[in-house]
Structure 1
């Protein structure tokens, strides 16, 4: 999510927001307290502890109801992190972050992103958390490292009956293990309860209004929060937006188109130089296709593991999230074509949350747990096969049935409550959508903006998933100006690509 972009469109393109940072509170209830202390278990993306730790960073826990229908019953501890404000000017309160997923650890990611948030931190405490069902907050577990290795390494090619049967059997086994290991929490996670938790966090940090930055899935969480608590919305930014109304089929096809578009952009950029994948785009694409077909029959040996076609495809997709990782993807594909799969395996592991010791974060297990609870849709076999056929027609490399196959056998019931957003009555909300975003296609940005009814859309013309932390000075300027000064960009504002 790192990209450098020259920018000229900053505060000059902004208007004034009517939302103060900390209006009068609506609640009279005494909030729960957070016991802040030193952070002892932070992790880098590779699962290792950070080389250096900012001594001012604090970690803590907040007890919330496991079941909000029984508010005085069993409790669940949410893990939080706080980067205290550093500036001498008047503190504006806190900004709460959700970095996406669903399933990403906000505790680890905020610590990793700290250097990119210095402007905000000068005026705000920066706060994030592991949502319920994620990592330190009763994270969903679905088997040991060996079981996760089997699941993540599944091939999607060739698209025949044998492959489909293997995927279906793996989905059933995965769901069974999730129920065995995390059955108590599975019915109580999801975005609706996470939004309730977030209002508890707002109260616990002492803010009358929630100032919030949500990225990717975090935009759905923000939208649901604004729907549930419109009067508690302060300054809210939703970057790389999801359209919560889409079906499994619509989401799968839109994302397949998005990744295929990003892949083609990558190939075009590669062949402009000494591209190790091929001398022109057609040749490079054909070589990648041959590599994937070869791996489906004979995986590459990588340090006692096998780089399967499924893992290789995952590695390619992981690198397409940011234009900055395209050079590494060039190298990884070039080496794989010569029989060396270490770099592609590294990319795949970074996406699946696998550490060098063979353990996994909850990234791959929290995702379906939250996704499947957030919808009542349970597609039948015919719908899955129709979706997969359409997706493979768009992209043989990225086409699949999506998450619908796993939700079809998920042990917890789903609800459509998180699919409806309407923030009528809230303060103005800023939505940022990227034209080259592979994971949350731009078409979803104006749709979420319209559904919220109180939002303004800024369009980023660049590549990659997410704009605020991409390195775009234009986007960061507009967002920071809104969060710090309350200046909402003009309608139709656009930030150029690099």
Structure 2
């Protein structure tokens, strides 16, 4: 669920890539040569000129606004949309290889400013490529999708997702149906067109307006699905492809999200809790994983009866604890801040103002109305969902009992898609046909994009090479792992993919 766009993506670079070996380029603003891939793009889109200017707050980036049709399959119908795009020019123009396109995870993450951070983290790649990205349709700064008020968004997550009383379950289903209905009624007709298929067609127009015959692409998390769909629909536009922490794009969103309760619980119980017990001398939270888990569960029970005032207008409720824990699991670097906050909560009455402020930072605001709108639209539109609400209530009750950390909230997301209007988005079946060798990166205990889904995606994308990383971080490239970084850099810069699937150890961590 939020699945794909965790706090890890503040490192602008973990995305999904394709590389341009010999970038045969067209004049930058012609929009000719197969704009958007099929040669049938109306001239008002294909021949537009991007007006570049400095991005707000990011002097190393240029930004522009691209006009796209609301529906690429019927471009004459409906109002035009705006997509904000950005670029970081190659640092060494004489050695420039071409364009490396990025996208953000989520669905719901914003990619516009990510090339700046990517370039800082990978200067050799930034010297060789113009690094470009965008805020996909439906997001702020592009044509935004509106679904909820702030109050409705806050109510959507409630106070305790584990409450399976009939009244609580009815409330979850009611709010989810309200979300699905509001997305249709408040979006001005936009909601049905927020899909991965429409996004990759926006991307191909962007490619054409940049004058590139082929692009390199890097995408993390949900952006691996964007990259896989792009490569499937426009294989002749892809030179190299890197998919980092892939979602299960070989199946449906429903099948992928049904695997997340297990993978979040696995990361919590097999990685975080043992780490917390090993650092008992620092955090005093239990000398065993079982002891630390019981302390965490006791804190959660206490918050149901007595939420903690964080001092900034927010209350620390059971759901806030769940969500903060979920976010901390995305990368091992999040373990220590969460552990410190848990330790302070055990002595909240005597905590200093500085300690309380640190707890507030460790429990950040979870998602946003804008993120949830995009997330719901993409996941509900892209692939079919079961509409058997009784079945969802039974299934998610089992998730709540066995995998409560993320399983407890599964009903809210499933019920929204079960109530979503039938979508006309085409099914895209990823095969790898017509593609060069591509590179995939996945860790065994990734909580958000589970390894089982990555293996299925690897099998579907024939000819891909899978790099399996130890540990459970979400996002492998630019994550302090020299083994991974060297493989990706060599692939992007020299075109050298591993001869076969390979492994890398987990990046080093400190407590």
Q: Please classify the TM superposition score into its range, dividing by the shorter chain length.
A: 0.7 to 0.9
Judged with a 3 Å threshold, the aligned counterparts in structure 2 of structure 1 residues 415 and 117 are, in CA distance, closer, same or farther, namely: farther
Match of 2:418 in 1: 408
Judged with a 3 Å threshold, the aligned counterparts in structure 2 of structure 1 residues 320 and 220 are, in CA distance, closer, same or farther, namely: same
Query: Does 92-101 or 373-382 show the bigger shift?
Result: 373-382
Contact 1:315 1:346 in 2 (8 A): no
Residue 424 (structure 1) aligned with residue 433 (structure 2): yes
Residue 352 (structure 1) aligned with residue 358 (structure 2): no
CA distance in 1, matches of 2:372, 2:381: 15
Residue 37 (structure 1) aligned with residue 37 (structure 2): no
Judged with a 3 Å threshold, the aligned counterparts in structure 2 of structure 1 residues 407 and 343 are, in CA distance, closer, same or farther, namely: farther
Residue 217 (structure 1) aligned with residue 225 (structure 2): no
Structure 1, unaligned runs of 5 or more:
5-16, 41-52, 354-359
> Shift of the alpha carbon at 1:197?
0.8
1:215-270 Cα shifts (integer Å, max 9, x gaps): 11111111111111111111111110111244566433421121112112111111
1:177 aligned to 167, 173, 182, which one? 182
CA distance in 2, matches of 1:67, 1:247: 22
Query: Does 421-430 or 174-183 show the bigger shift?
Result: 174-183
1:335 aligned to 344, 350, 354, which one? 344
> Shift of the alpha carbon at 1:72?
3.7
Residue 450 (structure 1) aligned with residue 450 (structure 2): no
Find the residue that maps to 2:95 and give its secondary structure. Answer: coil
CA distance in 2, matches of 1:295, 1:148: 21
CA distance in 2, matches of 1:347, 1:200: 40
CA distance in 1, matches of 2:265, 2:54: 43
Contact 2:19 2:492 in 1 (8 A): no
CA distance in 2, matches of 1:337, 1:246: 43
Find the residue that maps to 1:463 and give its secondary structure. Answer: coil
Contact 2:303 2:318 in 1 (8 A): yes
> Shift of the alpha carbon at 1:148?
2.2
Judged with a 3 Å threshold, the aligned counterparts in structure 2 of structure 1 residues 204 and 217 are, in CA distance, closer, same or farther, namely: same
CA distance in 2, matches of 1:61, 1:18: 24
Query: Does 181-190 or 272-281 show the bigger shift?
Result: 272-281
> Shift of the alpha carbon at 1:68?
1.5
Residue 313 (structure 1) aligned with residue 322 (structure 2): yes
Match of 1:49 in 2: none
CA distance in 1, matches of 2:185, 2:335: 39
Contact 2:98 2:129 in 1 (8 A): yes
Match of 2:3 in 1: none
> Shift of the alpha carbon at 1:279?
2.8
CA distance in 2, matches of 1:38, 1:455: 37
1:335-357 Cα shifts (integer Å, max 9, x gaps): 2333487656544535414xxxx
Find the residue that maps to 1:423 and give its secondary structure. Answer: coil
> Shift of the alpha carbon at 1:450?
1.8
Judged with a 3 Å threshold, the aligned counterparts in structure 2 of structure 1 residues 160 and 111 are, in CA distance, closer, same or farther, namely: farther
CA distance in 2, matches of 1:404, 1:315: 21
Query: Does 18-27 or 437-446 show the bigger shift?
Result: 18-27
CA distance in 2, matches of 1:3, 1:127: 17
CA distance in 2, matches of 1:165, 1:324: 38
> Shift of the alpha carbon at 1:404?
1.4
> Shift of the alpha carbon at 1:70?
2.9
Judged with a 3 Å threshold, the aligned counterparts in structure 2 of structure 1 residues 203 and 292 are, in CA distance, closer, same or farther, namely: same
Query: Does 344-353 or 280-289 show the bigger shift?
Result: 344-353
Match of 1:57 in 2: 61
Structure 2, unaligned runs of 5 or more:
1-7, 12-17, 27-32, 40-45
Find the residue that maps to 1:427 and give its secondary structure. Answer: coil
Match of 1:20 in 2: 21
Contact 1:318 1:348 in 2 (8 A): no
Residue 459 (structure 1) aligned with residue 468 (structure 2): yes
> Shift of the alpha carbon at 1:88?
5.3
> Shift of the alpha carbon at 1:376?
2.1
CA distance in 2, matches of 1:57, 1:23: 23
Contact 1:249 1:387 in 2 (8 A): no
1:325 aligned to 334, 345, 348, which one? 334
1:48-69 Cα shifts (integer Å, max 9, x gaps): xxxxx45231111111111113
Find the residue that maps to 1:129 and give its secondary structure. Answer: strand
Contact 1:98 1:214 in 2 (8 A): yes
Residue 79 (structure 1) aligned with residue 84 (structure 2): yes
**TM-score where L is the length of structure 2:** 0.84
CA distance in 1, matches of 2:19, 2:150: 50
> Shift of the alpha carbon at 1:154?
4.0
Find the residue that maps to 2:213 and give its secondary structure. Answer: coil
CA distance in 1, matches of 2:305, 2:428: 40
Contact 2:21 2:239 in 1 (8 A): yes
- Tell me which of the two structures has the higher relative contact order, counting C-alpha pairs closer than 8 angstroms and 6 or more residues apart: 1
The equivalences for 1:255-334 within 5 A come to 255-264=260-269, 265-273=271-279, 274=281, 275-302=283-310, 303-334=312-343
Tell me the number of residue pairs that the alignment of Structure 1 and Structure 2 aligns. 466
**TM-score where L is the length of structure 1:** 0.87
Query: Does 450-459 or 260-269 show the bigger shift?
Result: 450-459
